[in-house]
Amino acid sequence: GDESLVDEQGMVGGCETGEHRIIAKLILQNIGKGTNAVDATSHVCDIRNPRFIDYAMRVRSYDVEANFYGRGFASGKPCPARAASRAGLTIPTLLAIETGGAHADGLAAIPKTSTATGTNNGGQGSKSPSNKTFAGVCFIMRDLQTTHPVHPDVLSIPQAKCALAWLAKFHARFWEAPKLTNEWPGQLLWEEGTFWAVQYRLKQQYFPNTYANDFESAWNRTLRWMAAQRKLPEAVHLCSRESIRLFGLRLKRAIPVIFEELHPAQSASSIYNNLSPVVYNAAAAAAAAKGKRKDKCDSTHDFRRPRSHVTLVHGDFKAANIFFMPGVDGDDVCNDSDSCAVCDLQFTGPGLGVCDVAYLLFPDPRVSYLDVEHELLCWYYDKLQSQWIAMDKGCDLGETYPRALMEWHYRLAQMEFLGYMFTKGWVASSANDVELLQRLDELLCKLDGGELLGSSNEYAQALATALVSFR
């Protein structure tokens, strides 16, 4: 192939460019030895190599998207894509999918390890067989731009509202769906939605020390940046607070607790242990429901903990994946979710819907919604409530999921994503970033009073106390 298309993992093809053409969504294939590219078999598919995580996530994500469209379902059985379409949500229509080589057998393409080889020993697992490489996958879909031609790099406030209306309808459709707890996750979709949650679980499983070091390094650089901003006095003032100086350590200790609040508990046989589909342990779940087993707040269960407010999350809800009909801008906001279309459902899985909202509204160098954040949150909640009524969910959303609890979960989701960004080298670089840190510090102070608690268990107790009135 063209060397310009070869990436550092030895993959070739168009991928994640933010533009989706009428025929091929993506085509990936391995580059063999004898080229200038890295050989994926010998270099990437090694559990001791951190790049394995990105490779495994990429392969698995296309398997998940194919399943979202029904590949893993028996003929005639409802799949998420069909359910979404019947609810009036505009997503691409899958015309055909083709896989080749080892990937024709689904997850056989992904190397497997077991607890016997050490999944918590810093990644000292074994190499995968050389014949289990990812050969390729091609999706052919209808072009969303034929009906929704507007594809902005950043969303205006009216466009953000239209996108949130689509999201509220998506979340309402799958709210506490039984299949989210006993069928779809693990076997067909991710066990938890959002790409950063998937990566967090994998890195904690295989490279916990690297994750912690990356986190601390990024926060120390943010502190140095804030202290040097003489033209941004609010940054210097914020940096002088003891709670902010400790913020990185406090957040790192609270992240496991936040993660468990936002995502369903995992099973010991999950893809995070062997990168193969999990089998739902119904007997263990029934025993847990009868009180025969304690549900510990960690990742070692072999059953799923029943969760409230869980829905199907998109997992990568950003401007690059959102399209609009003409006219969705200006002061006259189109409230109709049909005016919005969404693609790239590679990281769908169960979770709290506000994870999608927090990701969409997270400030970046191009756009910030902090000034209208409360307005947008209220807009999303109101749309969720409207869809709740329209779908006849049978109870009042305000009682089962109060607005105040949604706002708590939204802040927790922001903290979780910020933690992920720290591991990617994120450093505060603007007044908006400083404002975000101040808001998140205020919430974290409600849990720890601005001081570093002794353990994650103490943060779990503090969060349980803070949210007890909503249980």
Q: How far apart are CA 195 and CA 193, in angstroms?
A: 7
What is the predicted pLDDT for the residue at 114? 30
Interacting residues of 7 by C-beta distance below 8 A, sequence separation 6+: none
Q: Mean per-residue pLDDT for 82-105?
A: 78
More confident residue, 468 or 206: 468
Q: Is residue 254 part of a domain?
A: yes
Q: Mean per-residue pLDDT for 259-267?
A: 72
Q: Mean per-residue pLDDT for 216-241?
A: 91
**Of 277-291, 332-346, 442-456, which one has max mean pLDDT?**
442-456
Q: Is residue 465 part of a domain?
A: yes
Question: Among 111, 131, 62, which residue's Cα sits nearest to residue 344?
Answer: 62
Q: How far apart are CA 353 and CA 172, in angstroms?
A: 9
CA dihedral 387, 392, 395, 401 (to 10 degrees): -20
Residue 66, classed as helix, strand or coil, is helix
Q: Give pLDDT tens digits for 11-63.
A: 333 333 344 333 334 433 443 444 333 333 333 344 455 566 777 788 888 88
Q: What percent of the chain has pLDDT over 90?
A: 43
Cα dihedral sign, 322-328-331-332: negative
Q: Give pLDDT tens digits for 350-406.
A: 899 999 999 999 998 899 999 999 999 999 999 999 999 998 887 788 888 999 999
Q: How far apart are CA 181 and CA 459, in angstroms?
A: 26
Q: Mean per-residue pLDDT for 51-80?
A: 80
Q: How far apart are CA 230 and CA 379, in angstroms?
A: 37
Q: Is residue 118 part of a domain?
A: no
How big is the chain, counted in residues?
471
427 Ramachandran zone, left/alpha/beta (phi>0; psi -120 to 50): beta
Least confident of 81-95, 278-292, 300-314, 420-434: 278-292
Q: Mean per-residue pLDDT for 244-252?
A: 94
Count of structural domains within the chain: 1
pLDDT band at 277 (very low <50, low <70, confident <90, very high): very low
Q: Mean per-residue pLDDT for 190-194?
A: 88
What is the predicted pLDDT for the residue at 294? 37
Are 30 and 40 contacting, i.e. CB atoms less than 8 angstroms apart?
Answer: yes
What is the predicted pLDDT for the residue at 214? 80
- CATH of residue 222's domain is 3.90.1200
What is the predicted pLDDT for the residue at 180? 64
Tokens of 201: 């679980």
What is the predicted pLDDT for the residue at 365? 87
Range of the domain at 207: 157-266+307-469
Q: What percent of the chain has pLDDT over 70?
A: 67
Within 231-301, where are the H helices?
233-239, 242-245, 247-262, 271-274, 282-289
Q: Exposed e or buried b for every residue in 283-306, given b needs 16+ CB within 10 A?
A: ebbeebeeeeeeeebebebbbbbe
**Of 139-153, 203-217, 441-455, which one has max mean pLDDT?**
441-455
Residue 189, classed as helix, strand or coil, is strand
Element (H, E) at 26: strand 24-27
pLDDT band at 85 (very low <50, low <70, confident <90, very high): very high
What is the predicted pLDDT for the residue at 330? 54
Q: Is residue 99 part of a domain?
A: no
Question: Among 347, 260, 274, 339, which residue's Cα sits nearest to residue 305?
Answer: 260
Least confident of 93-102, 195-204, 300-309: 300-309
Q: Is residue 197 part of a domain?
A: yes
Q: Is residue 75 part of a domain?
A: no
Q: Is residue 134 part of a domain?
A: no
Least confident of 115-119, 158-162, 284-288: 115-119
Q: 166 pLDDT exceeds 90? A: yes
Q: How far apart are CA 249 and CA 229, in angstroms?
A: 22
What is the predicted pLDDT for the residue at 75? 67
What is the DSSP pairing of strand 310-313 with strand 349-352?
antiparallel
Interacting residues of 388 by C-beta distance below 8 A, sequence separation 6+: 172, 175, 397
Question: Among 403, 405, 421, which residue's Cα sits nearest to residue 470?
Answer: 405
Q: Is residue 104 part of a domain?
A: no
